[in-house]
Structure 1
Amino acid sequence: MLAFPNLRFPGFIGDWKVKRLEAVAIKIGDGLHGTPSYTDDSEYYFINGNNLVNGQIEIYGNTKAVTSEIYLKNNKNLNKNTLLISINGTIGNIAKYENQKVMLGKSICYLNFNHNSDFIFFLLNTKSVQDYFISELTGSTIKNLSLKTIRQTLLPFPSLPEQEKIAYFLSLIENRILTQKKIIEDLTVLKNIIVKKLFENQIKFTNRDEAFPNWEKKRLSEISKEHLNKNPDNLYSEVFSVSKHKGVINQIEHLGRSFSAKDIKHYKLVYPGDLVYTKSPTSEFPFGIIKQNRTGRIGVVSPLYCVFTPQTFELGYLLHEYFDSSVNTYNYLSPLVQKGAKNTMNINNETFLHGAKLLLPIDKMEQTYIYTALSLLANKIDVEEKILIKYENQKKFLLANLLI
Structure 2
Amino acid sequence: MAKKNKKEANVPNLRFPEFAGKQNFKKHLFKDIFVFSTGKNIKQSEASSEFEIPCVRYGELYHMYGEIITEVINKTNLNRSELLFSEGDEILIPSAGEDPTDIGSASALTVKDVAIGRTINVLKPAKANIYSQLYVAYYINHRLKKTISSLAKGVSISNVYNSDLKTLEIILPTLDEQNKIVVFLSILDKRIETQNKIIEDLKLLISGTISTIEKHAKTSSNWRKAFLHEVLLERTEKNKENYPVHSVSVSVGVVNQIEYLGRSFAAKNTSNYNVVHEGDIVYTKSPTGEFPYGIIKQSFVPDKVSVSPLYGVYKPINRWIGNILHYYFLNPINANNYLHSLVQKGAKNTINISNQGFLMKQLYLPINETDCRKTAELLNVITQKLTIEKMILDKYNAQKIYILKELFI
| TM-score when normalising by structure 2 | 0.86
Q: 2:5 maps to what in 1?
A: none
Instruction: Give 1:160's match in structure 2, choosing from 144, 153, 175.
Output: 175
Aligned to 2:67: 55
| 1:335-354 correspondence runs (5 A) | 335-354=341-360
Q: Which moved more, 1:186-195 or 1:283-292?
A: 186-195
Deviation at 1:105, TM superposition (A): 4.2
Tell me which moved more, 139-148 or 221-230: 139-148
Distance 1:121 1:189 in 2: 32
C-alpha separation in 2, matches of 1:203 and 1:342: 38
Q: Which amino acid aligns with 1:315?
A: I
Inter-CA distance 102–343: structure 2 relative to 1 (3 Å threshold): farther
Match 2:140 to one of 117, 124, 142: 124
Of stretches 16-25 and 300-309 in structure 1, the one that deviates more from structure 2 is 16-25
- 2:161 matched to which residue of 1? 146
**Alpha-carbon contact 1:79-1:112 (below 8 Å) kept:** no
Residue 42 of structure 1, aligned match among 42, 51, 71: 51
Closer, same or farther in 2 for the Cα pair 1:107/1:280, shift >3 Å? farther
Q: Equivalent residue for 2:33? A: 24
In the TM superposition, what are the counterparts of 1:215-226 in structure 2 within 5 Å? 215-226=223-234
Which residue number corresponds to residue 86 of structure 2? 78
Following superposition, the deviation at residue 9 of structure 1 comes to 1.9
1:257 to 263, 274, 283: 263
Aligned position for 2:365:
360
Identify which of 368, 373, 382 aligns with 1:377.
382
Structure 1 residue 231 and structure 2 residue 239: aligned? yes
**Change in CA separation of 1:373 and 1:170 when aligned onto 2, cut-off 3 Å:** same
Alignment partners' CA distance in 2, 1:17 and 1:313: 63
Query: Do the aligned partners of residues 338 and 313 (structure 1) sit closer, same or farther apart at CA in structure 2, a change above 3 Å counting?
Result: same
Q: CA deviation at 1:249?
A: 0.9
* Aligned-pair CA distance for 1:377: 1.1
Using the TM superposition, give the Cα deviation of residue 225 of structure 1 relative to its aligned residue in structure 2, in angstroms: 0.9
CA distance in 2, matches of 1:52, 1:249: 29
Contact 1:314 1:371 in 2 (8 A): yes
Q: CA shift at 1:397, angstroms? A: 1.2
Change in Cα spacing, 1:315 to 1:202, as seen in structure 2 (3 Å) is: closer
Whether the aligned pair in 2 keeps the contact of 1:52 and 1:86 (CA below 8 Å) is no
Structure 1 spans left out of the alignment, 5+ residues: 205-211
Q: Is residue 2:318 matched to residue 1:318?
A: no
Note if contact 1:290-1:324 (Cα within 8 Å) is conserved in structure 2: yes
Match of 1:99 in 2: 111
Displacement of 1:76 after TM fit? 2.1
> Structure 2: which 5+ runs fail to align?
1-8
Q: Using the TM superposition, give the Cα deviation of residue 40 of structure 1 relative to its aligned residue in structure 2, in angstroms.
A: 8.5
Match of 2:280 among 271, 274, 278: 274
Q: Paired residue for 2:206?
A: 191
Q: Distance in 2 between matches of 1:333 and 1:102?
A: 44
TM-superposition CA deviations, 1:291-327 (whole Å, max 9, x none): 1101222100000011111111111111111111111
**Alpha-carbon deviation of 1:137?**
1.9
Q: Does 1:242 align with 2:248?
A: yes
Give the letter aligned to residue 95 of structure 1: S
Superposed CA RMSD in Å reads: 2.8
C-alpha distance in 1 between matches for 2:401 and 2:117: 30
Following the alignment from structure 2 to structure 1, what is the Cα–Cα distance between the partners of residues 234 and 115? 52
Partner AA of 1:225 in structure 2: L
- Give me the TM-score of the superposition, normalised by structure 1: 0.87
Post-superposition Cα deviations, 1:14-33, rounded to whole Å, max 9, x if no partner, equal 14111123433334424438
Greater Cα shift, 377-386 or 144-153: 144-153
Range 368-377 or range 72-81, more displaced: 72-81
Tell me what 1:392 maps to: 397
Comparing 305-314 and 340-349, the one that deviates more = 340-349
Query: Which of 8, 20, 24 is the equivalent residue of 2:15?
Result: 8
SS in 2 for 1:349: coil
